[in-house]
């Protein structure tokens, strides 16, 4: 948590808030499953506060998560999203508890929303469309949040916010992005066995994004996918055994033109 711009407020408040949010994320039973320590998802949330009063604050929250790749020490990025509409109230030592049936706090609501999104994206990477139940939970939070008056939960708050993020993830129109997430991750899992074959499978997963592009060019979820993976994709196809990727680079430039400078740096 970065609260350097709020020099007029006791910094201990933010230390306590960070501890409370860490406990909320790590101690809440999000899925009713007993997990081993090594099954926990590696994720980070960076909160930068831009303004605030005694108990009203405004800033951004950057959310990142990754997934371990089988038989390696490497973790592949799954999610990297900067939410610029993070406004909330907080009183020091306030009890932060997630209740899936009510929206008592925008602070808890936003954190719980992203926890369910992280769980859903992770589950999608291990099983095709496996994250649906988590997305449904996030959608429920978003629907409750629309009545709160806080920004980021409604269609009218912009076209790249929490509303569109979750509504697109639950829409069958974008299932091919979720399937690409699964195919991409499982392809990486095979790299320790057959690197060349795994690269071919990564390529196939990325080529599958053309299906979404043909229906929804420059879709928000496509951008979110590449925000997490673009650097990794460049790395994968710039080294190791050579495969034909001329058609892949053409596809990448078409479906993700914002990353064209990165695609041009792929050495093949």
pTM given for the model: 0.96
CA–CA distances in Å: residue 31 to residues 34, 90, 110, 120, 164:
9, 26, 17, 11, 23
Q: Are residues 25 and 73 in the same domain?
A: yes
The stretch 71-77 carries a mean pLDDT of 95
Q: Is residue 73 part of a domain?
A: yes
97 touches 108 (CB < 8 A)? yes
* 87 and 180, same domain (yes or no): no
More confident residue, 174 or 31: 174
Closest CA to 125 of 63, 173, 77: 77
pLDDT digits (tens, 9 = 90+) for 140-176: 999 999 999 999 999 999 889 999 999 999 999 999 9
Q: How confident is the model at residue 240 (pLDDT cuts 50, 70, 90)?
A: confident
Non-local CB neighbours of 84 within 8 Å, separated by 6+ positions: 60
Q: What pLDDT, on a 0 to 100 scale, did the predictor assign at position 166?
A: 98
Structure tokens at 132: 């649906």
The pLDDT of residue 163 is 97
The domain of 92 spans: 12-170
Cα Rg of the chain, angstroms: 20
Q: Do residues 160 and 67 share a domain?
A: yes
Tell me: do 24 and 134 sit in the same domain: yes
Look at residue 32 in the predicted model and tell me its pLDDT.
Answer: 82
Nearest to 105 by CA among 61, 150, 74: 150
Residue 19, pLDDT > 90, answer: yes
pLDDT average, residue stretch 10-16:
94
Judge whether 7 lies within some domain.
Answer: no
Task: Specify the number of domains making up the chain.
Answer: 2
Residues 164 and 259 in one domain: no
Are 26 and 143 part of one and the same domain?
Answer: yes
Same domain, 218 and 250: yes
Whether 34 shows a pLDDT value over 80: the answer reads no
Residue 213 has pLDDT above 90, yes or no: yes
């Amino acid at each position: 948590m970065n609260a350097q711009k709020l020099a007029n407020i006791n910094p201990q408040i933010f230390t306590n808030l960070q501890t409370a949010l860490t406990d909320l994320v790590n101690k809440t039973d999000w899925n009713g499953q007993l997990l081993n320590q090594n099954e926990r998802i590696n994720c980070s949330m960076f909160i930068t506060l831009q303004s605030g009063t005694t108990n009203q604050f405004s800033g951004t929250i950057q959310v990142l998560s990754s997934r371990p790749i089988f038989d390696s020490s490497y973790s592949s990025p799954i999610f990297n999203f900067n939410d610029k509409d993070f406004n909330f109230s907080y009183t020091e030592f306030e009890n932060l508890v997630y209740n899936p049936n009510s929206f008592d706090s925008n602070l808890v609501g936003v954190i719980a929303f992203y926890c369910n999104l992280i769980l859903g994206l992770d589950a999608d990477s291990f099983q095709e469309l496996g994250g649906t139940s988590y997305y449904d939970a996030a959608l429920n939070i978003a629907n409750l949040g629309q009545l709160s008056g806080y920004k980021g939960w409604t269609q009218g708050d912009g076209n790249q916010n929490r509303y569109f993020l979750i509504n697109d993830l639950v829409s069958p129109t974008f299932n091919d992005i979720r399937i690409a997430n699964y195919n991409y991750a499982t392809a990486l899992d095979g790299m320790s066995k057959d690197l060349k074959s795994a690269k071919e499978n990564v390529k196939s997963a990325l080529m599958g994004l053309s299906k979404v592009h043909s229906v929804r060019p420059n879709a928000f979820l496509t951008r979110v996918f590449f925000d997490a993976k673009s650097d990794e994709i460049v790395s994968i196809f710039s080294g190791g055994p050579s495969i034909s990727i001329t058609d892949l680079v053409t596809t990448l430039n078409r479906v993700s033109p914002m990353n064209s400078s990165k695609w041009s740096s792929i050495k093949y």
